Structure formats: C-alpha cells, structure tokens
Structure 1
Amino acid sequence: MLKFLKILVSASALAVLSTGALAQDKPRVAFVPQLVGIPYFNAMEEGGNRAAEELGVEFIYSGPVDTNPIDQLQIVQNLIAQGVEAISVSVLDASSIAPVVEQARQQNIHIYTSDSDAPDSGRAVYVAQATDQGLGYTIIDELVSRVDEDAKIGIVSGEATASNLNAWIGFMQERVAERYPNVTLLEPQFAGGTAQRAAQIATDMMASNPDLKGIVAVASTTCPGVAQAIETSNKIGEVVGTGYCSPNTARSYIKSGAFGFSVLWDPAQLGYLTVWAGKQLIDGKGFEAENTVPGFDEPVTYDAETGVLLLGAPAVFTAENVDNFDF
C-alpha cells in the first residue's frame, strides 16, 4: 500500500511538473505602454489579455508610472534579460530604442512597436491604430467644419518626444497648409502626461488668444485638462475642444459642449492585434498584404514597404454616437 502511495505521489508530482513545464513553454508576448493606469492603455491591456487566452500565449503588461522614456527603456531591457520572445512598445522616445532593438535581435527576440512608432529603429513591425496621416487630417477636417476656415486653433500635446503625437501634429500642420490657408494653427505646447498641466496650458492659451476658436488635445492624458479648462473659463460655445481620446474619457465633455467630438479607434482591438502580431513573429509566419485576424470583421492590411500593420480608419465620436461605445 505504501509503495502504491509513493508511486501515486510521484505520478502526481510529475503531472504538476509537466503542467508547469507546459505553462513555461507558452510563448510570451509583452506590451510596454507609455504609461500605466489610464483608461486608454487599460483597454489595450484588456484586449491583449483576451488575445493571449484565445491564441495560447502568455501576455506580459508592464510600463512606467509616468511618461519617462528612461524608465520605459529599462522595462524593455528587463524583458529582454528575461528572454521574452516578443516585446512590443508604445515608444516614448524614438531616438533611444534602436540599440535595444539590435540587442534583442542578437538574442532572437522580436522587438516591435504598437500605438507609437520608431520607424528608423529596425523594429520588426509597427501595429498602427490608424495612419498618422488619417488621424491628423481627420481631426483638422472635423474641427474646421465646426469653426471658421479662418479660425485660430491651439494644440496641447503630451510628451515632446512621443513620435506618434508629433507625427499627428505634423499631419495637422500639413492639412492646414494644403487645404485651409486661412486657418492659424498655433505652435504646439507640451503638457507631459498630466491633465493638470494641460488645463493650465489651455487656460493660458485662451487668455492670451481671445480670438481662439478651437483646441486640439493630442494625448489622451491631455483631453480632460483641455476640456475642463474650456468649462471653467466659460468658453463653451466659443472654443471647440477636441482630442484623441476614448468615448468614456470624452463623453461628459462632449455632452457638456466643451468637446465637439473626439477621434480615436478601439484600443482593446489594438491590444488584441498587438498580441496577434507578436505570436505571428514568434511563429515565423510574418504578415500578408491582407490578414485574417480572429474577431476582426475586415482583413487587417500590412504594408511591406513601411512595415505597418494597420488596425483601420479613425473613428469620430460625437454627441450622436458616443453612447454606443464603452471603452
């Protein structure tokens, strides 16, 4: 009997070890956001977790507590040290990531970008929420349609080094120069990652530009600050606010009139696509011009020349449709 129990215990131990080994054998896909603890990246994490469960990978979500490029880079280096097979980054500082990409490549680790790119870094792929041009053009077209074609418009962005935010601003400026020559687009001001700083900048901007007709909040963290500044300055109806923020972030401001609309995409779907892309890289499958991704109604396109895997076109959230969304 004792001998039988020993055999049974040994078999159970082997089963546990085997289960543990199987768990460790799961490929790991990491995502390093620009900042943890905000609704936008929380939604990306949620989508990443769903993808991990459905695709059979382990998902690691780890990012800095403030928008500090040095802290973000340290997290990426720690993940490389752990041998995580695929690491995606919403890049805060495009100029600093290239050496890390090369370091990872030497260890057969895939470094790629999502949400914010570093196109000259050698990254494996960029999982883009929408084209930078589409985002820049859309927000200007929508805003100008709500103000005058000779309006003055301000910009309140996040980190000055964030490549995605700077790219959107660049296309805003391009759109104004090409299509709206009488619009005055003020030089962007940068609030870092705080709504409080964004509110102060927007307040000062309205005070020093009494003819200001619109303000664009370029980072999700700056949207509440800009909207609150318009509300507290009693500028609703005089200044149209907008920004790249989720329906849940923008809803109360759209309904108060501080925001005329917001522009974004579904970050949960972006998180899912990010993990799917990591699994493709680990499996050595790469990407086709059109890719079938679980849970996506339309094929996801890939541009081999730019290395961009595109989620889709920007979405515009207004008073008429904002309650149809929950993220």
Structure 2
Amino acid sequence: MELFANRAKRPGVRRVVSAAALIAAVALVATGCASGGSTGGSSGGGGGGDQTITFIPKQLNNPYTDVVLGGGKDGAKAAGFSKSQVVGPLDASASSQVSFINAETQAGTNVIVIAANDPDAVCSSLKEARDGGAKIVAFDSDTNPKCRDIFISQVVAKDVALIQTKLISEQIGGSGEIAILSATANATNQNEWIKYMEEDLKANYPNIKLVSTVYGDDDDTKSFQEAQGLLQAYPDLKGIISPTTVGIAATARYLSTSEYKGKVALTGLGLPNEMRPFVKDGTVTAFALWDPAQLGYVAAFAGKALADGDITGKKGDKFKAGDLGERTVGEGGTVIVGPPTTFTTDNIDDYDF
C-alpha cells in the first residue's frame, strides 16, 4: 500500500502542518476553550446549511497526532465542511477530553471526531453531544461502541499486532526475552494490539518470553525513562516492541547512545521522519506504520456522510472518502483505512511524514 510516499502525486492531501503551526491555528486550545459551532442549519446536519467539524485527539504536541490532524484538515475541506478546528488536552489522561466534548456540545458542533484516551470515560459527555444532534466519529483509538456512530480504524487490529511480533522474532532470532513499551494503560487500540501480540507469542513463538509491559503515557521523557528501566531490570532482554510513535522514538534515542545499541532489538510503530536517523545508524532494523494522514482524511468524510444522513454507521453502509475512494462500514460500525507498511533502510527515504 502506498503511504503518501510522494505527496505531490496524491491529490487532496497536502503536506501536514508543523506542530507549532497547528497549535497557532487553534490557539484557544491552550486555554481549554472551544470556539465555533454551526453558523447556519441545525446540529446534526441533514445536508442543509453550514456544517462544522471538530477533532479531539488524545493529546496535542504529539508528532503522530499532527500528521493525523493534517489529513483531517484536508479531508474536512474536501468534504465541504464550512469550518473545522482542533481542540484537546496537552496530556493523555482518561478524563482530559471531557471538558472539550462538553464545550463542543454547547457550541452546537455538527461532527465531533475523537481519539479516546479511555473508551468509557468520555461516554457520558459523548451521549450528551449525540442527544444534542452531533454525530460522533471515533478514530485511531475507539470509544465504547455505544458512545459513537462510527469508528475509523487504522488497520485490522490483529494485523498490527502480528507484524510487530513477526518483526521482533526476526530481529532476535526467534528466542529470548522481550518487553512491550506502550502508551497509556487505558488506550483502546494499544490494549487490543497487546492482547493479540500476547496470543501470537504464545501460539507461534514458544521460545520468546514476554517479561514485562510498561507504559510511557505517550510522553517522551517518561517513555525514555521506562526504556531505561526495562534494560536495567532485565539484563537478558533481547528486544523491545513499542506500538506507539512517541515510545519507539524515545526508546531508539536511548538505545542509540547506550551500550545496548546493536544488542537489543527495537521495533513497533513509528513515523519515518522521526525514525530515519535510527535506521540509518543501525539502532533499528525495521518498524511499521500506516499512513496517519489517511486516518484523519477518511474520518472527515465519514463525519460528513453521517451529518448529511447518507449513512448511519451500520454494517454495509458505503460512503466516498474523496480521493481515497469508496469505503464500506464493517462489523461493529468500523471502517478500515489500510494495512501497515514495514520500513527498513531500503525504503525509508521514500516516505516523508
């Protein structure tokens, strides 16, 4: 699958903005305020009048999130929303998104797109938003399915898990102790991937022992410290899987200047631009990811289709996601964006995100 490897050849999705530009564009986020709402028409859309869309990521100032939101901004414009914005917390705690959801409900926002830090902590506020007419699109990290209309998933969850266990097995020769450095303990996507990894290791890699799973909370400093702690606690550790872009980059930075470089394998999910130096210097052999921009782009079009009444989020519903083509809603109201791609020294320079 092509992951916007050459963005100039992919219409409809521009190079994503930098974190600083994104924050400047939504300066009200810093004060916890949400602005904007419908400037015409009623909440929930129906196809008439202006429609607004708000993205609420797990946290701001996250490189992965910036790429996702860049795609969402492009998708919102292409789908025809009159206004799009980003609001959200600076930390990824379970309840940190609630106040932003409540503000969007009061503003009469037509579509709320959210990556949940906790599947249930946001449910009460999302229910109020839906009761007020808003359509709820979960993306990246799902809410409880009862709390949203549709979920836009990066990939089939099991596929994400299996590619990471396969990569770590190849890198450590099929045997030895490994650990997982995840994001937050309550993240829906992370926990689902870890569950499948544990099952896959038990079924297909009997000589690989998972000795610990730790959490860096998608914070660079904490992730760096957790990686350090793992290597001190498990002197025989042969590999680390970090299924989070913040975690894998922080771990790679630690390994690259430590005695463990070249001795402890690292794989997981990372951004090519962040991981390039660590691939080039031999710290990391291979890692994986999907195109994050596509996730935001498809989520915007799903929100528009819901607001217009073209779909309800039930299995079998179809909608057109701009330049990325038609998408079909699957089991559990889930739409899959695309499979992961493995990055190595042979192809990492082909990608720019």
Give the TM-score taking structure 1 as reference length: 0.88
**SS at 1:108's partner residue?**
coil
CA–CA distance in structure 2, aligned partners of residues 199 and 275 of structure 1: 34
Aligned equivalent of 1:70: 95
1:47-196 aligned within 5 A:
47-57=71-81, 58-196=83-221
Aligned equivalent of 2:327: 300
Asked if residue 314 in structure 1 is aligned to residue 340 in structure 2, the reply is yes
Write 1 or 2 for the structure with the bigger share of helix.
1
**SS at 2:245's partner residue?**
coil
Segments of structure 2 that go 5 or more residues without pairing to the other structure are 1-38, 42-47
Aligned pair count reads 305
Partner amino acid for 2:345?
Answer: A
Aligned equivalent of 1:7: none
**Maintained 8 Å contact 2:181/2:242:** yes
**Maintained 8 Å contact 1:247/1:262:** no
Instruction: Quote how far apart the aligned CAs of 1:290 are.
Output: 5.7
Instruction: Quote how far apart the aligned CAs of 1:277 are.
Output: 0.7
Asked if residue 223 in structure 1 is aligned to residue 251 in structure 2, the reply is no
Partner amino acid for 2:111?
Answer: A
Aligned equivalent of 1:206: 231
**Maintained 8 Å contact 1:159/1:190:** yes
Instruction: Quote how far apart the aligned CAs of 1:299 are.
Output: 4.4
**SS at 1:96's partner residue?**
coil
Asked if residue 244 in structure 1 is aligned to residue 272 in structure 2, the reply is no
- What CA deviation, in whole Å up to 9, does each residue of 1:30-65 have, x standing for no partner? 110011122211111211121122221021211111
Aligned equivalent of 2:32: none
CA–CA distance in structure 2, aligned partners of residues 83 and 234 of structure 1: 55
Give the TM-score taking structure 2 as reference length: 0.82
Percent identity, aligned pairs only, is: 28
- What CA deviation, in whole Å up to 9, does each residue of 1:147-170 have, x standing for no partner? 122221111111111111111111
Instruction: Quote how far apart the aligned CAs of 1:26 are.
Output: 2.2
Instruction: Quote how far apart the aligned CAs of 1:289 are.
Output: 5.7
- What CA deviation, in whole Å up to 9, does each residue of 1:116-174 have, x standing for no partner? 01244331111001121111111111221121222211111111111111111111111
The verdict on how the C-alpha distance between 1:120 and 1:47 changes in structure 2, with shifts beyond 3 A counting, is closer
Output the aligned Cα RMSD.
1.9
Asked if residue 36 in structure 1 is aligned to residue 64 in structure 2, the reply is no
Instruction: Quote how far apart the aligned CAs of 1:291 are.
Output: 4.6
Partner amino acid for 1:46?
Answer: G
Aligned equivalent of 1:16: none
Partner amino acid for 1:322?
Answer: I
Partner amino acid for 2:321?
Answer: V
**Maintained 8 Å contact 2:305/2:319:** no
**Maintained 8 Å contact 1:156/1:201:** yes
CA–CA distance in structure 1, aligned partners of residues 119 and 179 of structure 2: 25
**SS at 1:84's partner residue?**
coil
**SS at 1:68's partner residue?**
coil
**Maintained 8 Å contact 1:98/1:120:** no
